[in-house]
Amino acid sequence: MVETGTPAPDFSLRSDSGDTVRLSDLRGRPVVVYFYPKDDTPGCTTQACAIRDSWGEFERAGATVLGISPDSTESHEKFKSKFTLPFPLLADEDHAVAEAYGAWGEKKNYGKTYTGIIRSGFVIDADGNVAAAKVNVKADKHREWALAELAKLGS
Protein backbone atom coordinates (compact mmCIF):
# COMPACT_ATOMS: atom_id res chain seq x y z
CA MET A 1 0.00 0.00 0.00
CA VAL A 2 1.15 3.53 -0.64
CA GLU A 3 2.36 5.35 2.46
CA THR A 4 0.94 8.62 3.73
CA GLY A 5 3.20 11.57 3.05
CA THR A 6 4.56 10.06 -0.16
CA PRO A 7 3.69 11.10 -3.72
CA ALA A 8 0.53 9.41 -4.97
CA PRO A 9 1.22 7.10 -7.90
CA ASP A 10 0.19 8.97 -11.03
CA PHE A 11 -2.21 7.33 -13.44
CA SER A 12 -4.06 7.93 -16.67
CA LEU A 13 -7.37 6.05 -17.03
CA ARG A 14 -10.44 6.28 -19.24
CA SER A 15 -13.61 7.47 -17.56
CA ASP A 16 -17.25 6.54 -18.00
CA SER A 17 -17.56 9.44 -20.47
CA GLY A 18 -14.63 8.21 -22.57
CA ASP A 19 -12.33 11.02 -21.42
CA THR A 20 -8.86 10.30 -20.10
CA VAL A 21 -8.33 11.35 -16.49
CA ARG A 22 -4.77 11.95 -15.27
CA LEU A 23 -4.17 12.35 -11.57
CA SER A 24 -1.33 14.81 -12.24
CA ASP A 25 -3.79 17.11 -14.05
CA LEU A 26 -5.74 17.52 -10.79
CA ARG A 27 -2.96 19.15 -8.77
CA GLY A 28 -4.00 22.21 -6.82
CA ARG A 29 -7.02 20.59 -5.16
CA PRO A 30 -7.56 17.52 -2.97
CA VAL A 31 -8.58 14.28 -4.66
CA VAL A 32 -10.44 11.34 -3.15
CA VAL A 33 -9.56 8.14 -4.99
CA TYR A 34 -11.49 5.05 -4.07
CA PHE A 35 -11.22 1.52 -5.37
CA TYR A 36 -14.30 -0.69 -5.46
CA PRO A 37 -14.80 -4.24 -6.73
CA LYS A 38 -17.72 -4.10 -9.17
CA ASP A 39 -20.35 -1.78 -10.62
CA ASP A 40 -23.97 -2.15 -9.51
CA THR A 41 -23.40 -4.59 -6.65
CA PRO A 42 -24.89 -3.95 -3.21
CA GLY A 43 -21.76 -2.77 -1.37
CA CYS A 44 -20.41 -0.74 -4.27
CA THR A 45 -23.79 0.89 -4.81
CA THR A 46 -24.00 1.76 -1.10
CA GLN A 47 -20.53 3.33 -1.25
CA ALA A 48 -21.12 5.33 -4.43
CA CYS A 49 -24.58 6.55 -3.42
CA ALA A 50 -23.34 7.67 0.00
CA ILE A 51 -20.79 9.89 -1.73
CA ARG A 52 -23.48 11.13 -4.11
CA ASP A 53 -25.81 11.93 -1.21
CA SER A 54 -23.08 14.02 0.47
CA TRP A 55 -21.85 15.59 -2.76
CA GLY A 56 -22.25 19.13 -1.43
CA GLU A 57 -19.81 18.38 1.39
CA PHE A 58 -17.21 17.08 -1.06
CA GLU A 59 -17.69 20.20 -3.20
CA ARG A 60 -17.32 22.50 -0.16
CA ALA A 61 -14.04 20.72 0.61
CA GLY A 62 -12.92 21.50 -2.95
CA ALA A 63 -12.37 17.80 -3.63
CA THR A 64 -12.43 15.83 -6.83
CA VAL A 65 -13.75 12.29 -6.32
CA LEU A 66 -12.68 9.40 -8.57
CA GLY A 67 -14.09 5.89 -8.31
CA ILE A 68 -11.92 3.15 -9.82
CA SER A 69 -12.73 -0.48 -10.58
CA PRO A 70 -11.70 -3.09 -13.15
CA ASP A 71 -15.05 -2.74 -14.94
CA SER A 72 -15.24 -1.36 -18.48
CA THR A 73 -16.12 2.23 -19.33
CA GLU A 74 -19.44 0.95 -20.71
CA SER A 75 -20.28 -0.72 -17.39
CA HIS A 76 -19.27 2.46 -15.56
CA GLU A 77 -21.50 4.59 -17.77
CA LYS A 78 -24.53 2.41 -16.99
CA PHE A 79 -23.78 2.38 -13.24
CA LYS A 80 -23.23 6.14 -13.14
CA SER A 81 -26.42 6.83 -15.09
CA LYS A 82 -28.57 4.41 -13.08
CA PHE A 83 -27.64 6.06 -9.77
CA THR A 84 -27.02 9.64 -11.02
CA LEU A 85 -23.45 9.69 -9.71
CA PRO A 86 -21.86 13.17 -9.97
CA PHE A 87 -18.25 12.00 -10.18
CA PRO A 88 -16.18 10.07 -12.76
CA LEU A 89 -15.77 6.31 -12.65
CA LEU A 90 -12.48 5.13 -14.10
CA ALA A 91 -11.71 1.81 -15.81
CA ASP A 92 -8.64 0.00 -14.47
CA GLU A 93 -9.27 -3.15 -16.48
CA ASP A 94 -5.75 -4.55 -16.05
CA HIS A 95 -5.80 -3.47 -12.35
CA ALA A 96 -2.35 -1.87 -12.68
CA VAL A 97 -3.42 1.27 -10.80
CA ALA A 98 -5.07 -0.78 -8.05
CA GLU A 99 -1.83 -2.73 -7.71
CA ALA A 100 0.23 0.48 -7.52
CA TYR A 101 -1.95 1.68 -4.64
CA GLY A 102 -2.02 -1.68 -2.83
CA ALA A 103 -5.75 -2.10 -3.49
CA TRP A 104 -5.38 -5.38 -5.36
CA GLY A 105 -4.72 -8.67 -3.62
CA GLU A 106 -6.10 -11.71 -1.88
CA LYS A 107 -9.29 -11.37 0.07
CA LYS A 108 -11.95 -13.59 1.52
CA ASN A 109 -15.61 -13.38 0.68
CA TYR A 110 -18.23 -15.85 1.83
CA GLY A 111 -15.54 -18.27 2.97
CA LYS A 112 -13.68 -18.26 -0.36
CA THR A 113 -10.30 -16.69 -1.03
CA TYR A 114 -9.77 -14.92 -4.33
CA THR A 115 -7.71 -12.14 -5.88
CA GLY A 116 -9.34 -8.84 -6.70
CA ILE A 117 -9.98 -5.27 -5.64
CA ILE A 118 -9.73 -4.60 -1.94
CA ARG A 119 -12.16 -1.77 -1.17
CA SER A 120 -9.80 1.10 -0.36
CA GLY A 121 -9.80 4.88 -0.07
CA PHE A 122 -7.08 7.49 -0.51
CA VAL A 123 -7.11 11.22 0.07
CA ILE A 124 -4.49 13.03 -1.97
CA ASP A 125 -3.57 16.58 -1.06
CA ALA A 126 -3.30 19.50 -3.46
CA ASP A 127 0.44 18.83 -3.93
CA GLY A 128 -0.18 15.24 -5.07
CA ASN A 129 0.87 13.52 -1.85
CA VAL A 130 -1.08 10.80 -0.06
CA ALA A 131 -2.62 12.50 2.97
CA ALA A 132 -4.61 9.46 4.14
CA ALA A 133 -5.04 5.83 3.12
CA LYS A 134 -7.44 3.15 4.28
CA VAL A 135 -7.53 -0.41 2.97
CA ASN A 136 -10.58 -2.57 3.69
CA VAL A 137 -12.73 0.50 4.17
CA LYS A 138 -16.37 -0.41 4.83
CA ALA A 139 -18.73 0.59 2.02
CA ASP A 140 -21.11 2.34 4.41
CA LYS A 141 -18.31 4.13 6.32
CA HIS A 142 -16.13 5.35 3.44
CA ARG A 143 -17.94 8.68 3.00
CA GLU A 144 -17.48 9.65 6.67
CA TRP A 145 -13.82 8.63 6.62
CA ALA A 146 -13.07 10.59 3.43
CA LEU A 147 -14.86 13.74 4.63
CA ALA A 148 -13.06 13.62 7.99
CA GLU A 149 -9.70 13.32 6.21
CA LEU A 150 -10.58 16.17 3.85
CA ALA A 151 -11.47 18.31 6.88
CA LYS A 152 -7.97 17.71 8.27
CA LEU A 153 -6.49 19.12 5.06
CA GLY A 154 -8.52 22.30 5.52
CA SER A 155 -7.28 22.81 9.09
Domain boundaries, given as residue ranges, for the chain? 12-154
| Catalytically annotated residue among 44, 89, 131, 146 | 44
Per-residue pLDDT of 30-66, as tens digits, reads: 999 999 999 999 999 999 999 999 999 999 999 999 9
Q: Cα–chain-centroid distance for residue 51?
A: 10
Strand partners, 22: 12
Q: What is the CATH number of domain 12-154?
A: 3.40.30.10
Q: For this structure, is 44 an active site residue?
A: yes
Determine if the pTM surpasses 0.85.
yes
Count of beta carbons in the 10 Å neighbourhood of residue 127: 11
